[in-house]
Structure 1
Amino acid sequence: MSESYKNYVRGEWVTAESEATFDVIDPAQSDEVVGTYQQSSEADAETAIAAATAAEDAWASTPGPERGTVLKQTSDALADRKEEAIETLVREEGKARSEAAGEVQRAIDIFAYYGQKARDLGGRHKASSSRDTDLYTKVEPLGTVGLITPWNYPIAIPAWKLAPALAAGNAAVIKPATAAPGPTRILFECLDSAGLPDGVANMVTGSGSQVGTPLVEHDDVDGVSFTGSTAVGTDIAETAATERKRVQCEMGGKNPTVVMPSADIDEAAEIVANGAFGTTGQSCTAASRAIVHEDVYESFVEKVVEHAEAVDVGAGLDDPDMGPHVSESELDSTLEYVDVGREEGATLETGGTRLTDSDFEHGFYVSPTVFSDVSNDMRIAQEEIFGPVLSVIETEDFDNAVELANNTDYGLAASIVTDRLSEADAFVDRVESGVVKVNEKTTGLELHVPFGGYKDSSTNTYREQGDAGLDFFTATKTVYRNY
């Protein structure tokens, strides 16, 4: 029998007002319930918001080094529970153990990083044009913030929203995704053990309509940070803007990797395959388009198909190359796009089938998929699939490759594989993307530099991570002091 878990509000673990619950299942073994969580209502969200607003002033006035100590102790507590967090993440989200281990370590590092940054928060002195005047700025927390996080990185993304929010002195209410709330729960258990004051951070599980909506619309919520689909993020941004709340939304991607003739084709195929099929393609930065020069197109297709067919698919706890989809609905969506690709006239080179034999019988598995003969106006080249599906597009030259890379509504991550420095530099300058990589896969991020996209990949307001993460969660006050 699975264990039942509660919300975390005002420093206590509490049931939802209605006492309704929902089950989280193992995507590798869908007949197994991993955990039971609270199906919270709008009233539960409002209770959590009230707890945060009651605690915000005291936390804001807590010295930065003291706040930083709580974050560092949270990092240490999570490190002590790393294996438990990894297993929970794998059993709820489905990704391979090594991928989950990297994500949990990232959360550990994020809390340690912002624990230190909390000690450095302050303003800047400037020289005044007037005599006998001190001119400086000071930064202050927003107040109470609402955080809405997705299932595909169920501990890293909550960490990179929650840690800077707390470091800056905000109180927070977070709604983790219902598909994989367990890693966030463990994070809150670590915060609790680190001595975070009651009410400063609160976790409420449940649907977006019941829990997420109050976090966006409530008068006492001063800022909203969301990661998820472009459609939902756009609605959130519009609502928050109407209420004049600070808002930050990171959304979808249709990320290209350009492959030029100077590249080592074996290396290029490996880079693209890793970006396309890692994390089962369930990453907003996954490589979903390979834009390949005509001189190496056929050899690249051959090599990337070899890589796709060599991917070891299996249950995440066995640490394969690729685990299952997080849910049956996500699997069905990927398979629907495979049908769309066929109907559009692309050539299915490999994959695109649900795996059902033996160990796959009760899981949400699909074989890594490669389409060739794709034109950039096809739906499989324009719409985010969020699965291990790669579209290979032929290009005649570098200029056309950049044009194709930019010809999408999204602009999150892009990469180029080339041995020519001039092409690399020109690509960095001309590609319309918030993250640009040279001779690397599109996935994978450093925690101390800004992350965010262009166009429909972002609200284009504030970036996340590093100092940029603190910028979102703070307001700047300019002080003129005549002495």
Structure 2
Amino acid sequence: MRYANYINGQWKQPTLGEYRENRSPHNGESLGEFPSSTVEDAREAIIASKSAFQSWKKLSFQQRAAYLQKAADILKANLQEVGRDLTQEEGKTLAEGIGETQRAISILEYFAGEARQPVGEVFPSGNPKTFLYTTRTPIGPVGLITPWNFPIAIPVWKMAPALVYGNTVVIKPADLTPKSVYHVVKAFDEAGIPPGVLNCVFGRGSVVGNELVEHPFIKAISFTGSNQVGNQIAQLAASKGKKVQMELGGKNPLIVLADADLEKAVEIAVSGAFRSTGQKCTATSRVIVEESVYETFRDRLVERTKTLKTGNPLQEDTFIGPAISQSQLDGVLAMIEAGKDEATLLCGGEVPAEEELKNGFYVQPTIFENVSPDARITREEIFGPVIALFKVKNYEEAVEMANDTEYGLSAAICTNNLSVAQKFVEDIEVGLVHVNNETAGSEPHVPFGGCKNSSTGSREQGKTAIDFYTQVKTVYLDQV
């Protein structure tokens, strides 16, 4: 089946008629063909968003929110189908695919509800005849460049606030997972969203994404992806005077202290590191354990990891599905080979031998110990199911090691000491802190983002999303 771009309220074939086949990372099965769009396709979408902006921003918040709620209802009616399609094209398990689709629905519902929340403040003026207040105005057409690892949740958590606050949108989905965003756009189309308000152009980031960053009609860029690409986009967009929001990489630590429930800590480490095949910016990649419980924790972690099933993500008992692509798998395997030279391999580290997995992009869950602080697997984001284990003397050394990274997205600690947990919240240099839970995972109604090289710009999700997608206008209203 061939799919089309969505531009100005119509499904349109790409200008040059070129397509890219969308294939399953499990077995290479074709999942349809999606446009390889040109700069001309992107420009048509941008112009449509510019033309629709004035009428869209004049609608009331509640009128705009109604489209979000209708789209949420449509996705909810198709939850199983959409979740299954997500799993087939991205590779995460079916439970995760359905769960992520439900999360997208919840985000739409949340921002539909934000339409009835206050958007400004009233201030006392030094002049008794002045009514002094602020309001919020949309910034205009925005460009959204979204990743493959959360192919429906991340597009929606950018799209929903952009739309409800009065902006128009051009989205460039990841070319590895186009069908998930197609389902979202189709839901908005069925909800009757006005032409030009939401536009979707499939294709390469170097073509479509670059045009979004370059074109003067686009007033802001929200990007989630690698640091290398994100930094290039941020510099170019800033030179064009655009607002920029970047969610980038992570090298997230889990600290396990001696007083922790070790069985629970093992499950926290396994879930945080290996679910979604480790392909999360919030995935656990460094596990830092207090020395008095290190050997016990290590042995239990290795034993538990060896029970995990790697295989077809549509099968109920699968824990780890495939990597998204051959290039992604090659990158993970290269890092594992580097780890074998730098550290001690405890388990995994190979491509599974099962015949039924030979056409997919599979790798075993992998654990290393005796890892140097300067090793590549310590410093670099792997984006795969790989844990580096570290032994430390105490809490202070654990936190020092956890903070010794260019990233600052998420961190977790396992402890039964409330005072230590509170101290950890203060000491750790990240944007997301978990106590007795995994580093991965966030709820849709709270801010998401990190510090250091993990994020730039204002936070995503929750009430703070308004900061990026609007401008504050201060009003002095004097009596005549």
TMscore range, shorter length: over 0.9
Q: Is the 8 A contact 1:375 1:381 kept in 2?
A: yes
Q: Whole-Å Cα distance in 2 between the matches of residues 11 and 466 of structure 1? A: 28
Q: SS at 1:122's partner residue?
A: coil
Aligned counterpart for 1:478 among listed residues 463, 474, 477:
474
Q: Is the 8 A contact 1:356 1:362 kept in 2?
A: no
Q: Whole-Å Cα distance in 1 between the matches of residues 139 and 429 of structure 2? A: 31
Q: CA deviation at 1:472?
A: 0.8
Q: CA deviation at 1:148?
A: 0.2
Q: Is the 8 A contact 1:64 1:120 kept in 2?
A: no
User: Aligned residue for 2:419?
Assistant: 422
**Residue correspondence of structure 1 range 47-446 to structure 2 within 5 A:** 47-319=44-316, 320-344=318-342, 346-446=343-443
Q: SS at 1:339's partner residue?
A: helix
What does the per-residue CA deviation read over 1:152-194, in whole Å, with 9 as the maximum and x for residues that have no partner?
0000000000000000000000000000010100100100111
Q: CA deviation at 1:122?
A: 3.0
Q: Is the 8 A contact 1:415 1:436 kept in 2?
A: yes
Aligned counterpart for 1:463 among listed residues 444, 459, 480:
459
Q: Whole-Å Cα distance in 1 between the matches of residues 168 and 205 of structure 2? A: 20
Q: CA deviation at 1:358?
A: 2.1
Q: Is the 8 A contact 1:67 1:166 kept in 2?
A: yes
Q: Whole-Å Cα distance in 2 between the matches of residues 421 and 199 of structure 1? A: 52
Q: Whole-Å Cα distance in 2 between the matches of residues 295 and 421 of structure 1? A: 20
Q: SS at 1:444's partner residue?
A: coil
Q: Is the 8 A contact 1:25 1:35 kept in 2?
A: yes
Aligned residues: 478
Q: SS at 1:365's partner residue?
A: coil
Q: Whole-Å Cα distance in 2 between the matches of residues 120 and 262 of structure 1? A: 43
Q: Whole-Å Cα distance in 1 between the matches of residues 100 and 326 of structure 2? A: 23
4+ residue stretches of structure 1 with deviation over 3 A? none
User: Aligned residue for 2:2?
Assistant: 4
Q: Whole-Å Cα distance in 1 between the matches of residues 97 and 159 of structure 2? A: 19
Q: CA deviation at 1:310?
A: 1.0
What does the per-residue CA deviation read over 1:13-40, in whole Å, with 9 as the maximum and x for residues that have no partner?
001111110011101112x111100000
Please, what TM-score do these two structures have when normalized by structure 1? 0.98
Q: Is the 8 A contact 1:89 1:183 kept in 2?
A: yes
Q: Is the 8 A contact 1:291 1:401 kept in 2?
A: yes
Q: Whole-Å Cα distance in 1 between the matches of residues 467 and 69 of structure 2? A: 20
Q: What code does the residue aligned with 1:408 have?
A: T
Q: Whole-Å Cα distance in 2 between the matches of residues 330 and 450 of structure 1? A: 29
Q: Whole-Å Cα distance in 2 between the matches of residues 350 and 391 of structure 1? A: 11
Q: What code does the residue aligned with 1:47 have?
A: E
Q: CA deviation at 1:292?
A: 0.7
Q: Whole-Å Cα distance in 1 between the matches of residues 429 and 399 of structure 2? A: 9
Q: SS at 2:464's partner residue?
A: helix
What does the per-residue CA deviation read over 1:345-398, in whole Å, with 9 as the maximum and x for residues that have no partner?
x11000011114222121111111000111222110110000000000111111
Q: Whole-Å Cα distance in 2 between the matches of residues 122 and 421 of structure 1? A: 36
Task: List gaps (5 residues or longer) in structure 1.
Answer: none
Q: Whole-Å Cα distance in 1 between the matches of residues 12 and 116 of structure 2? A: 33
Q: Is the 8 A contact 1:309 1:350 kept in 2?
A: yes
Aligned alpha-carbon RMSD (Å): 0.9
Q: Whole-Å Cα distance in 2 between the matches of residues 470 and 34 of structure 1? A: 36
Q: SS at 2:455's partner residue?
A: coil
What does the per-residue CA deviation read over 1:229-287, in whole Å, with 9 as the maximum and x for residues that have no partner?
01111111111111121110000000000010001212111111110001100000000
Task: List gaps (5 residues or longer) in structure 2.
Answer: none
Q: Is the 8 A contact 1:356 1:365 kept in 2?
A: no
Q: Whole-Å Cα distance in 2 between the matches of residues 122 and 403 of structure 1? A: 40
Q: Whole-Å Cα distance in 2 between the matches of residues 209 and 334 of structure 1? A: 23
Q: What code does the residue aligned with 1:469 have?
A: A
- Asked if residue 24 in structure 1 is aligned to residue 22 in structure 2, the reply is yes
User: Percent of pairs identical after alignment?
Assistant: 45
Q: Whole-Å Cα distance in 2 between the matches of residues 435 and 376 of structure 1? A: 23
What does the per-residue CA deviation read over 1:321-348, in whole Å, with 9 as the maximum and x for residues that have no partner?
111111111111111111000111x110
Q: Whole-Å Cα distance in 1 between the matches of residues 259 and 142 of structure 2? A: 48
Q: Whole-Å Cα distance in 2 between the matches of residues 422 and 115 of structure 1? A: 39
Q: What code does the residue aligned with 1:296 have?
A: V
Q: Whole-Å Cα distance in 2 between the matches of residues 129 and 406 of structure 1? A: 46
Please, what TM-score do these two structures have when normalized by structure 2? 0.98
- Residues 1:53 and 1:121: Cα distance change in structure 2 (over 3 Å): farther
Q: Whole-Å Cα distance in 2 between the matches of residues 443 and 196 of structure 1? A: 33
Q: Whole-Å Cα distance in 1 between the matches of residues 54 and 353 of structure 2? A: 55
Q: What code does the residue aligned with 1:4 have?
A: R
- Residues 1:121 and 1:359: Cα distance change in structure 2 (over 3 Å): farther
Q: Whole-Å Cα distance in 2 between the matches of residues 372 and 297 of structure 1? A: 11
Q: What code does the residue aligned with 1:466 have?
A: G
Q: What code does the residue aligned with 1:96 have?
A: T
What does the per-residue CA deviation read over 1:455-476, in whole Å, with 9 as the maximum and x for residues that have no partner?
11011x2000001112210001
Q: Whole-Å Cα distance in 2 between the matches of residues 54 and 90 of structure 1? A: 36
Q: SS at 2:96's partner residue?
A: helix
Could you tell which deviates more after superposition, 380-389 or 326-335? 326-335
Q: What code does the residue aligned with 1:384 have?
A: E
Q: Whole-Å Cα distance in 2 between the matches of residues 156 and 265 of structure 1? A: 32
Q: Whole-Å Cα distance in 2 between the matches of residues 85 and 76 of structure 1? A: 13
Q: SS at 1:118's partner residue?
A: helix
Q: SS at 2:360's partner residue?
A: coil
